[in-house]
Amino acid sequence: MNYQPTIGLEVHAQLLSKSKLFCAASTRFGEEPNANVHPLCMAMPGTLPKLNAAVVDMAIRTGLALQCTINLESRWDRKHYFYPDLPSGFQVTQNELPICEHGTLSVSTTEGERPIRIRRIHMEEDAGKLMHDPQSAESLVDLNRAGIPLLEIVSAPDIHTAEEAAAYLRSLRDILVYIGVSDGNLEEGSFRSDANVSIAPKGSTTLGTRVEIKNINSFRFVQKAIEYEIARQVSVLENGGKLVQETRLWDAEKGETRSMRSKENAQDYRYFPEPNLPPLRIEASQVEALKKTLPELPKEKYRRYIESLGLPAYDAAVLTAERELAEYFEGCLTHYADAKKLSNWVMGELLRMSKEEEIAFSALRFSKEQFARLLQAVDAGKISLNAAKEVFAHMFRTGEEPERIIEAKGLAQVSDVGAIEAAIAAVLEAHASETEKYRAGKKQVFGFLVGQVMKAMKGKGNPALVNQLLRNRLDN
Amino acid sequence: MNIHELSMLELATKLADKSLTSVEATQACLERISETEPKLNAFIYVDAQGALEAAAASDKRRSRGEALGPLDGLPMALKDNIFVAGLKTTCASRMLQNFVAPMDAAVVQQLRQAGMVLLGKLNMDEMAMGSSSTSGVFGAVHNPYALERSAGGSSGGSAAAVGARVLWAALGSDSGGSIRQPASFCNVVGLKPSFGRISRRGVVAYASSMDQVGPMARKVKDIAALLTLLAQPDEEDVLCNPRPGGDYTQGLEQGMGGMRVGLWRESLEGADKEVAACIGEAAKACERLGAQVEELSLPLSRMAPLAYALISAAEASSNLARFDGIRYGHAGTQAPNLHALYFNSRGEGFGKTVKKKLTLGTFVLSSGHYEAFFVKAAKLRTLLCEEIKQAFKKVDLLLSPVASTPAFPLEFNPTPAQSAALDTHTVLANLVGLPALSLPYGFSAQGLPIGIQLMGKAFEEAALLRCAHALEEDKPSFQRAPLL
């Protein structure tokens, strides 16, 4: 039988706020265990939550970037479970009425582009971390992460392939990073995803039994885990089995999902309204003001690069992959108008060297004007492309003016017609037999002769001019 | 002069004119404590040394003319669910028997800024759940007017110590009547302010949407002075009113002429004859003092105890989830695994009343029961708010008994229904967030104190205190001393 998989994704993105969601403790990563704690996030009695307003702004901006409705009134709820990573025994979240609802994210795959609906976005607190020490048989609790603000972004079950799921997550991550609300760092756990996967016979109007997969922390694993899970579900049904509603854990090492708990053992979270926080009310004017702070999003940029700048899709994709790179590119474009030539340089020399030298675009030693002047020197025939690359490398390391480097290294091209013609004359005289061969129709010799002229000019002859003048001389 | 017969503000006057020192007052308190404690069991901890040092510092300030205010040097004590940095806050629970508060509560900061001397921590029902002050790990509090009877609860220690003339004032907390009912049992004035009038920071939470700290003293004027101190904004409690309450001692003498008093009809159902007689007498006094009195029916109020029972249990089950024996508090013995640690910590750390409450709270929040219980209770609460809002269009004040009976015997072991009936008249103010005051208004034939409850409009404590003061002046029942 043919099955149609249906996938919904829940993403937990850690927000880039300096302090936690409800207390003043720092959110810095990599501190000593339990260094970033405050009585509230340690759940000392007598403590009360105080909402971090910066987080609300980030949630609204995310909602706007994902075309959500922003709820001007949303609420806080407590979600309960007993585990040492949750010191108060409840997580403060937005269950009943989230801050953002009904958004969309357009996702491109090899099959084309499709909108995926976003069901809701809400704010909540992260839990702490347990460390199991195999030496002592004790478990240690680190509460640095407890109370760090998260956005949970829940898609509708609109995704049908593992590839599409991975593309959705990449797009979503790009947007969060672009608008500056999350660092999207998968290794540090600031972008985590769970997937709900079910299959149903093609054409069926009802969905199959839903299985939740947890612990998928890379884009590659998402795709693999979902592919594995779809195949597993198909095989269960094909073999006459029945699927159970359950939560499964992705085991990256074994490349499989395995059962964690079934629906019967599902937790009862005992949600109820958080009595210590009033409903969150937002002014429409605040939403309007935040709208103005949103940058052009990666998709829009990508489209504009192709349509208005005339760049190939590949270039547009590379240049818009990161906001910093796109902004650097656009900054250079104000000094140098040929987008394609600039794109070649940025994607080529600039990206290569900044990666090699591990320098961020914001920390480059040379200005965008300097970069533009170098490119203009090539266009004007002042230096060859190869020489320009040498100049660029030097400018990258030292920040010196390109003109000075050209002069100091003696890289200026000779475009003086008289000088080139003199060199040509000397070469033709020294290589009379090759000249004869060319004129007799052996056109391949031309390249040799060009090489000789360039050699005579110590490589500084303007190659286009050398070609043109030599051909004139030989053909007439 | 018997220093113990003074009211708080009378003592303050003596401190101000230097006819008494803070050290003398504190010494007198400590001596009285050693006399009465074997009978009352009102204190969990007495910080004699700390109090005497604070008193000496206060006297020094006064002698230099640098007193921090009219209450500088006044000894007082706090219910043991209020944090004093460095002192244990036990909530009369085995769970927190060794828990040292990491900070001062907001109210303690305010008392310290006013120069008040903190004498110690007062006994209560475990985790502030109860109406008898018998459930705590430190044993029952005894009523100073009848030692074999309950002091009421949960702020029983606060009420007993003030009622017994040990203290001039104390702080209690009130989530369903825990200040007013013991105040009524011990012949003390007790105020539960509007929700949000006093910061809850540093107070161990029971039912967060209803918890309020409040003052207990012998005279309404004392309550007004203390409220003036405590009704301050606190940015750390986002539900605390951002505007200070002002000076409640001003205008206290203006009487209750022209006030409209509603006699809450349902509150008299099931009231003792003597209690009902007190209310009748109070209604007459109101009229005599120039107020209009009318009977008023609040039919939904009969169901208030149900809403209260479910909501307070739900919030408590959530608030007390943090006591898991991991970071602080009683850690379960013989716990080979995590589940056993939870089970034993909570099983050993909490007493029966608390466990019942937590079980009920967990039940009403669990899936399948949430809609049927919690949501219904929340809806009822909304309807009650509406009913009260309508009532307060007609009247300025509601008059009712605090409790249907005077203090009951210590061995009284109420059925669940009787237990709920103990807070019938007090929970309404907590559910709708209104200020309510318990005013001593007479004695039963057996010599047991009877209080009346006055409930006012939200954040209109000034009017409430003014009326209470007028009634108190009219009939100063507080003057009858305990037998102790």
Euclidean distance between CA atoms B428 and B40, whole angstroms: 30
B96 inside 8 A of chain A by CB: yes
Residues of chain A with pLDDT > 70, as a percent, come to: 99
Confidence of residue B478 (pLDDT cuts 50, 70, 90): low
Q: Is B367 a catalytic residue?
A: no
- Whether residue A272 and residue B374 make contact (CB cut-off 8 A), yes or no, is yes
Q: Tell me the shortest Cα–Cα distance from B10 to chain A, in angstroms.
A: 33
Q: Which residues of chain A have a CB within 8 Å of the CB of B96?
A: 45
Residue A167 · residue A16 · CB < 8 Å: no
- Dihedral sign from CA coordinates of A419, A424, A427, A428: negative
Q: Single out the catalytic residue among B93, B154, B175, B301.
A: B154
Other beta carbons within 10 angstroms of residue A365's beta carbon come to 13
Which of A42, A50, A139 lies at the smallest CB-CB distance from B238?
A: A50
Residue A121 · residue A98 · CB < 8 Å: yes
A416: Cβ contacts below 8 Å, ≥ 6 apart: none
Residue B428 · residue B445 · CB < 8 Å: no
Which of A50, A87, A278 lies at the smallest CB-CB distance from B322?
A: A87
CB contacts < 8 A, A to B, total 86
Confidence of residue B477 (pLDDT cuts 50, 70, 90): low
Residue A420: the pLDDT is 84
Q: Is B39 a catalytic residue?
A: no
Residue B354 · residue B93 · CB < 8 Å: yes
Euclidean distance between CA atoms A96 and B384, whole angstroms: 23
pLDDT digits 0-9 by tens, A11-53: 999 999 999 999 999 999 889 999 999 999 999 999 999 999 9
Whether B484 has a pLDDT exceeding 90, the answer reads no
Q: Which residues of chain A have a CB within 8 Å of the CB of B318?
A: 78, 80, 89-90, 270, 272
C-alpha dihedral, A452 to A456 to A460 to A465, nearest 10°: -60
Average pLDDT score over chain A: 90
Residue B101: the pLDDT is 97
DSSP result, A373-389: HHHHHHHTTSS-HHHHH
Confidence of residue A454 (pLDDT cuts 50, 70, 90): confident
Q: What would you report as the CA-atom Rg of chain B, rounded to the nearest whole angstrom?
A: 21
Residue B32 · residue B54 · CB < 8 Å: no
Residue B359: the pLDDT is 97
Place of tokens 């980030």: A58
Euclidean distance between CA atoms A356 and A359, whole angstroms: 8
Task: Identify the DSSP state of B100.
Answer: B
Q: Which residues of chain A have a CB within 8 Å of the CB of B103?
A: 39, 46
How many angstroms separate the most distant Cα atoms in chain A?
Answer: 100
Euclidean distance between CA atoms B183 and B151, whole angstroms: 8
Written as six digits, the tokens of B205 are: 């939470």
Euclidean distance between CA atoms B83 and B102, whole angstroms: 8
Euclidean distance between CA atoms B250 and A15, whole angstroms: 50
Q: Which of A132-141, B1-10, B415-424 has the highest mean pLDDT?
A: B1-10
DSSP result, B422-483: TTTTTHHHHHHT--EEEEEEEE-TTS-EEEEEEE--TT-HHHHHHHHHHHHHHS-GGGSPP-
Other beta carbons within 10 angstroms of residue A24's beta carbon come to 13
- Whether residue A87 and residue B326 make contact (CB cut-off 8 A), yes or no, is yes
Whether A395 has a pLDDT exceeding 90, the answer reads yes
- Whether residue A270 and residue B238 make contact (CB cut-off 8 A), yes or no, is no
Give the mean pLDDT of B64-76.
96
Euclidean distance between CA atoms A216 and B460, whole angstroms: 56
Confidence of residue A467 (pLDDT cuts 50, 70, 90): confident
pLDDT digits 0-9 by tens, A228-261: 999 999 999 989 888 888 888 888 888 888 888 7
Of B236, B284, B235, the closest CA to residue B261 belongs to B284
Whether A475 has a pLDDT exceeding 90, the answer reads no
Give the mean pLDDT of A327-348.
93
> Residue B96 phi/psi, 5° resolution?
-115, 20
Residue A203: the pLDDT is 85
CA angle B223, B227, B233 (to 5 degrees): 170
B321 inside 8 A of chain A by CB: yes
B148 inside 8 A of chain A by CB: no
Q: Which residues of chain B have a CB within 8 Å of the CB of A141?
A: 326-327
A2: Cβ contacts below 8 Å, ≥ 6 apart: A201, A202
Residue B75 · residue B152 · CB < 8 Å: no
Whether B420 has a pLDDT exceeding 80, the answer reads no
B82: Cβ contacts below 8 Å, ≥ 6 apart: B89, B105, B107, B108, B121, B171, B173, B202, B203, B204, B213
Q: Which residues of chain B have a CB within 8 Å of the CB of A276?
A: 208, 238-239
Of B191, B118, B187, the closest CA to residue B152 belongs to B187
Whether B419 has a pLDDT exceeding 80, the answer reads no
B148: Cβ contacts below 8 Å, ≥ 6 apart: B142, B409, B410
- Whether residue A43 and residue B327 make contact (CB cut-off 8 A), yes or no, is yes
Residue B129: the pLDDT is 96
- Whether residue B327 and residue A46 make contact (CB cut-off 8 A), yes or no, is no
Cα nearest neighbour of B363 on chain A: A270
- In this structure, are strands A211-216 and A246-251 parallel, antiparallel, or unpaired? parallel
Q: Which residues of chain A have a CB within 8 Å of the CB of B374?
A: 272
B177: Cβ contacts below 8 Å, ≥ 6 apart: B131, B192, B402, B403, B422, B423, B425, B426, B427, B430
Whether A188 has a pLDDT exceeding 90, the answer reads no
Whether A411 has a pLDDT exceeding 80, the answer reads no
Give the mean pLDDT of A72-94.
96
Whether A264 has a pLDDT exceeding 70, the answer reads no
Residue B396 · residue B260 · CB < 8 Å: yes
Q: Single out the catalytic residue among B7, B22, B79, B219.
A: B79
Interface residues from chain A to B (CB-CB < 8 Å): 39, 42-51, 78, 80, 82, 84, 87-90, 139, 141, 268, 270-273, 275-278
Task: Identify the DSSP state of A31.
Answer: P
Q: Which residue has the higher pLDDT, A155 or A464?
A: A155
Q: Which residues of chain A have a CB within 8 Å of the CB of B342?
A: 82
pLDDT digits 0-9 by tens, A284-318: 999 999 999 999 988 889 999 999 999 999 999 99
Give the mean pLDDT of B193-213.
98
Other beta carbons within 10 angstroms of residue A450's beta carbon come to 18
Q: Tell me the shortest Cα–Cα distance from A101 to chain B, in angstroms.
A: 24
Average pLDDT score over chain B: 95
In a mutagenesis test of the B interface, which of A23, A37, A48 is the best target, namely the one with the most B β-carbons within 10 Å? A48
Residue B206: the pLDDT is 98
Q: Which of A221-235, A299-313, A368-382, B75-89 has the highest mean pLDDT?
A: B75-89
Euclidean distance between CA atoms B429 and B400, whole angstroms: 12
Euclidean distance between CA atoms B403 and B258, whole angstroms: 27
Residue B479: the pLDDT is 65
Other beta carbons within 10 angstroms of residue B52's beta carbon come to 18
Q: Is B154 a catalytic residue?
A: yes
Other beta carbons within 10 angstroms of residue A417's beta carbon come to 12
